[in-house]
Amino acid sequence: MELTANHASNAFPTMLSEEMLEEAEQSKTLATARKTVGTPFVDTPRMTCRDIQVFYGDKQAINKMSIDVASNEVLAMIGPSGCGKSTFLRCLNRMNDTVLSCRVTGEVKLDGTDIYHPSVDVVPLRARVGMVFQKPNPFPKSIYDNIAYGPKIHGLTKNKDELDEIIETSLIRAGLWDEVKDRLQDPGTGLSGGQQQRLCIARTIAVSPEVILMDEPCSALDPIATARVEELIAELRTQFSIVIVTHSMQQAARVSQRTAYFHLGDLIEVGATEKVFTNPLHQLTEDYITGRFG
Amino acid sequence: MFSYITPCVLLLSIAAYYLGTRRANSIAAASGGMKELHSLPTHYGVFTAICSAAPALIIFALWIFFEDKIISVLVTRSLPADLQQLSANELTLVLNEVKNIAYGGFGAGHSGEAVQAAAKTYNLLSEFASNLVAGLVIVACIVPGCIAYKKITKDLRARNIVETTGMAFLICCSGVAILTTLGIVLSVLFEAIRFFQSVPLTDFIFGLDWSPQTAMRVDQAGSSGAFGAVPVFAGTLLIAVIAMMVAIPIGLLSAIYLSEYASPTFRTWAKPILEILAGIPTVVYGFFAALTVAPLIRDLGSATGFTVSSESALAAGLVMGIMIIPFVSSLSDDVIHAVPQSMRDGSFGLGATHFETIRYVVIPAALPGIVGSILLAVSRAIGETMIVVMAAGLSANLSFNPLSAVTTVTVQIVTLLVGDQEFDSPKTLAAFALGLLLFVFTLLLNVIALRVVRKYREQYE
Ligand SMILES: Nc1ncnc2c1ncn2[C@@H]1O[C@H](COP(=O)(O)OP(=O)(O)OP(=O)(O)O)[C@@H](O)[C@H]1O
Ligand SMILES: [Mg+2]
């Protein structure tokens, strides 16, 4: 199907400059089959996923997905609600193990080791692959204890000063320090929704994971806090890999190097962010980013 | 009279409900749709039903309450003058006689003409009165019902009236519960005060000797009795502590296993089975303790060189602990299960083990409920009587040795009150004092536990 100027004018307004739109106009026929198009694989992968399928009971939530997560990259996952982004993300640190009805098949490797291999211990895996959940879930403890929890159970600090320092830097990096520095002993559940979200981010980075999975980390944040978290993501990328689920395409465009588009349990398209947003290869991707889906 | 008034009122109010609903519906239809009505048609129906049933039931209840008194007064008036001159006590006797004959009994056999006549009056009066009241109730049912029916308009705030009435009813119910409790506490308190008039409070609370044997008759030779409550409370505490040492670890750990590790199918089977323990009558536990556990402990003791009395606090405590396991395990399992999965996910996501998650996240979040279940179990342990009577004995030894025979507050209350007693001897009144002290004690325990929970509680949304 040809892309007309008409369609393109619907496109995502802030990120796409005029030249980009023209470039998009020149595109050829778009793919329509339910097969991943683009560049799901990279040369220096941190994590590799092959033929991942996830079932909740008899219901299939994810259908044969294969994708790599490169070192020092931010991979954004976009797609309509219920398409399986969170489910896929939870496969990467085996959080789906905690859902009784959930069954995962396929292969996920972290630095070449299959994380679903029976010999792999899931506890250190989750310390290496940290996760920020879609719904903020602070522990019903004080703000201080919320962040101290991870370092304490992993024995990361030798004394209270070191712990205090970790807590302060984590909160500063998550952009929450100024708001809570005077009430670290207050319960974390007493914070606002957006503050709780940043508390959970701070809690996750306090254990210095190597891969960080973020499930809509900015869904309840104002633009300033969002900017702070995006800065944090850029900063973390210099050492680690980050996979972020977001419903904001501006955000995906701002923070990520590669973008993956999910559609009803299928991985439709993976490619360099700029390319996915300006010159998508698949009809469904194109429909979604131009706002014609759902 | 009950037999036909209650169904009558019921039928009438059902009819009122039906008519009220129908009238509301027709008003709605006439004025252009359900939206025009202030409330739903069923609200109008319930409103009419309440208006017809409530006055009738109130009259009926008042009658039941005052029937006896009114008729008695009337019958007394009709008695001959010489009988009316009798003292209040004797008059009551006469009245009882009258009632006995009126109800078809034979009285004391030698009752005089006057009493026979009074019995006839009694019968006549009560028959007349019940017919009168039945009529009144029916009228009180129909008239307000009709008025309410007429009052139904589309602007009548039937919903508000119905909901206010519902709330008033709820308040009455809780009022009954509170007043009953208050009544019990007050009556115990007054009896206890009478006891403290003969035995000083300090002797009771700090006395170390409990032997409540007083002379039954003035001329009887006997000890004056010692009412020191300390040994009795020490026994209660000792047994409760032993029971909790059994019940808390076993109950809590099995709750953790059931809610965190067990498969759902196992949980649905195991939980009811565990709860059966709570349904076994305590007297069964009692002879299990007396016939099986106590001899076992005694044999073990003699084999290892301890002297164990055949009735021991240990046997009673152990069996009591087993009895209260389900209180701890079942309730704790529920509260642990209610901790949101997202809490656990948060912990797992940081690389915590299952055990760390339970220890640092789940248990603290469930703590208030767990403490609640333990408190309930403690109350059961303190209030338990049967097992102690059978397995721990009756002798009030001031001892914290679990191998000796001890006694508890509840057991002492029972032994003080069974058998022929004078109801104003200190021996009998001591039971009330013990009850009061026990009440204060458990109340304090609850207050302290609530304080502790509030301090350490971790509240999830
Ligand atoms: N615990 C579960 N049990 C059963 N089905 C589930 C469970 N979790 C998710 N699903 C199903 O799996 C599918 C994918 O859900 P998922 O949460 O991954 O969507 P999502 O892409 O993250 O959506 P959103 O953008 O709304 O967060 C949905 O159809 C959902 O109903
Ligand atoms: Mg999701």
Alpha carbon of residue A232 to chain centroid? 13
Whether B79 maps to a domain, the answer reads yes
Q: Whose CA is nearest to atom 30 of ligand 1?
A: A82
Range of lowest pLDDT (A4-8, A242-246, B111-115, B417-421): A4-8
Q: Which residue numbers of A have CB closer than 8 Å to B's CBs?
A: 93, 95, 98, 100, 123-128, 130-131, 133, 135, 137-141, 149-150, 153-154, 187, 189, 200, 203-204, 207
Other Cβ atoms closer than 10 A to A198: 29
Placement of tokens 């009412």 in the chain: B227
CA closest to A189 among chain B residues:
B460
Which helix H or strand E contains A245, and what residues bound it? Answer: strand A241-245
pLDDT value of residue A5: 42
Q: What's the token pair of residue B84?
A: 């009316």
Strand pairing category for A258-263 and A74-78: parallel
pLDDT value of residue B217: 56
Residues B48 and B149 reside in one and the same domain: yes
CB A184 within 8 A of CB A142: yes
- Which residues of A fall within a CB distance of 8 Å from B360? 149, 153
At B107, the pLDDT band (50, 70, 90 cuts) reads low
**Does position A18 have pLDDT exceeding 70, yes or no?**
no
Q: Highest mean pLDDT range out of A26-35, A143-152, B451-460?
A: A143-152
At residue A33, what are phi and psi to the nearest 5 degrees? -65, 155
Separation between Cα atoms, residue B290 and residue B114, nearest integer Å: 60
Residues B286 and B152 reside in one and the same domain: no
The last residue of one of the domains, among B115, B136, B156, is B156
Average pLDDT, chain A: 88
- DSSP for B23-41 reads HHHHHHHHTTSGGGSSS-H
Whether B107 maps to a domain, the answer reads yes
Domains within chain A, CATH numbers bracketed: 3-289 (3.40.50.300)
The last residue of one of the domains, among B156, B188, B222, is B156
Share of chain A above pLDDT 70, in %: 89
**Region B380-404 average pLDDT:** 83
The CA distance from A286 to the nearest CA of chain B, in Å, is: 34
Placement of tokens 């009548």 in the chain: B156
Separation between Cα atoms, residue B171 and residue B168, nearest integer Å: 5
**Does position B88 have pLDDT exceeding 70, yes or no?**
yes
Whether B253 maps to a domain, the answer reads yes
Other Cβ atoms closer than 10 A to B385: 17
Whether B168 maps to a domain, the answer reads no
Residues B145 and B229 reside in one and the same domain: no
Beta-sheet strands, E only, within B212-365: 226-227
pLDDT value of residue A293: 62
pLDDT value of residue A111: 93
Report the DSSP beta bridge partners of residue A245. Answer: A77, A215
- Which residues of A fall within a CB distance of 8 Å from B346? 133, 137-139, 200, 203
Angle subtended at Cα A213 by Cα A208 and Cα A216, rounded to the nearest 5 degrees? 125
Residues B223 and B300 reside in one and the same domain: yes
Q: What's the token pair of residue B165?
A: 């009435």
| Among candidate residues A91, A61, A12, the one with its CA nearest the CA of residue A249 | A12
**Ligand 2 geometric centre to CA of A103 (Å):** 18
CB A136 within 8 A of CB A199: yes
**Region A197-225 average pLDDT:** 93
Residues B269 and B134 reside in one and the same domain: no
Counting beta carbons within 10 angstroms of the beta carbon of residue B239, is it exposed (0 to 12), middle (13 to 18) or buried (19 or more)? buried
Residues B244 and B99 reside in one and the same domain: no
Placement of tokens 């589309």 in the chain: B154
Residues B305 and B440 reside in one and the same domain: yes
Q: Is A208 helix (H, G, I), strand (E, B) or coil?
A: coil
At B458, the pLDDT band (50, 70, 90 cuts) reads low
Nearest ligand, CA of residue A83? Answer: 1
Please give the DSSP secondary-structure letter assigned to residue A96: G
Residues B283 and B354 reside in one and the same domain: yes
CB B239 within 8 A of CB B317: yes
pLDDT value of residue A12: 43
**Does position A275 have pLDDT exceeding 90, yes or no?**
yes
pLDDT tens, residue by residue, B242-301: 999 999 999 999 999 999 999 999 999 998 998 888 889 989 999 899 899 988 888 888
Domain holding B339: CATH number? 1.10.3720.10
- DSSP for A142-164 reads BHHHHHHHHHHHTT--SSHHHHH
CB–CB contact B346 A130 (8 Å): no
pLDDT tens, residue by residue, B182-235: 999 999 999 999 989 888 888 888 888 888 776 555 555 555 677 888 888 998
Nearest ligand, CA of residue A102? Answer: 1
Residue B257 in contact with partner chain A when CB distance is under 8 A: no
**Region A172-195 average pLDDT:** 92
**Does position B422 have pLDDT exceeding 80, yes or no?**
no
Residues B32 and B101 reside in one and the same domain: yes
Whether B28 maps to a domain, the answer reads yes
Q: What's the token pair of residue A23?
A: 């470039």
Average pLDDT, chain B: 86
pLDDT tens, residue by residue, B308-339: 777 888 999 999 999 999 999 999 999 999 99
**Ligand 2 geometric centre to CA of A109 (Å):** 22
Residues B98 and B36 reside in one and the same domain: yes
Domain span at B309:
210-460
Q: Which residues contact B272 (CB under 8 A, 6 or more apart)?
A: none
Separation between Cα atoms, residue B355 and residue B361, nearest integer Å: 10
pLDDT tens, residue by residue, A264-274: 999 999 999 99
- DSSP for B53-105 reads HHHHHHHHHHHHHHHHHHHHHHHHHHS-HHHHTS-HHHHHHHHHHHHHHHTT-
Whether B193 maps to a domain, the answer reads no
**Region A137-156 average pLDDT:** 93
Whether B184 maps to a domain, the answer reads no
pLDDT tens, residue by residue, A46-75: 999 999 999 999 999 999 999 999 999 999
Alpha carbon of residue A2 to chain centroid? 32
pLDDT value of residue A104: 94
Residues B333 and B450 reside in one and the same domain: yes
Q: Whose CA is nearest to atom 28 of ligand 1?
A: A82
- Residues with CB under 6 Å of ligand 1 are A 56, 61, 81-87, 99, 101, 134
Counted domains in chain B: 2
Q: Where are the alpha helices (DSSP H) in A46-159?
A: 85-91, 122-128, 143-153
Separation between Cα atoms, residue B400 and residue B420, nearest integer Å: 33
pLDDT tens, residue by residue, B331-369: 999 999 999 999 999 999 999 999 999 999 999 999 888
What crossing angle do the helices spanning B313-338 and B264-279 adopt, rounded to 10°? 140
- Sign of the alpha-carbon torsion through A11, A15, A17, A23: negative
| Among candidate residues B376, B328, B362, the one with its CA nearest the CA of residue B458 | B362
Range of lowest pLDDT (A20-24, A137-141, B110-114): A20-24
The last residue of one of the domains, among B134, B156, B178, is B156
pLDDT tens, residue by residue, B154-180: 888 999 999 999 999 999 999 999 999
| Test site for ligand 1: of A60, A78, A85, most ligand atoms within 8 A of the Cβ | A85
Range of lowest pLDDT (A222-226, B110-114, B286-290, B306-310): B110-114
**Both ends of chain A: CA-CA distance in Å?**
19
Chain B 335-354, residues with CB within 8 Å of chain A CB atoms = 340-353
At B307, the pLDDT band (50, 70, 90 cuts) reads confident
Q: What's the token pair of residue B343?
A: 């809490």
Q: Which residues contact B410 (CB under 8 A, 6 or more apart)?
A: B236, B382, B383, B384, B385, B388, B438
pLDDT tens, residue by residue, A98-107: 898 999 999 9
pLDDT value of residue B418: 82
CB–CB contact B344 A98 (8 Å): yes
Q: What's the token pair of residue A136?
A: 């903020």
**Region B21-37 average pLDDT:** 88
**Region A173-191 average pLDDT:** 92
Give the C-alpha distances (Å, rounded to integers) separating B71 from A250, B1, B66, B67, B268: 89, 16, 9, 6, 59
CB A47 within 8 A of CB A86: no
Nearest ligand, CA of residue A80? Answer: 1
Whether B304 maps to a domain, the answer reads yes
Please give the DSSP secondary-structure letter assigned to residue A95: G
For residue B349, give the nearest of A133, A138, A153 by CB distance: A133
Residues B143 and B250 reside in one and the same domain: no
Give ion ligand 2 contacts, CB < 5 A: A 86, 134
pLDDT value of residue B398: 82
CB–CB contact B351 A131 (8 Å): no
CB B232 within 8 A of CB B210: yes
| Among candidate residues B249, B391, B383, B263, the one with its CA nearest the CA of residue B317 | B391
Strand pairing category for A45-56 and A102-110: antiparallel
pLDDT value of residue B112: 75
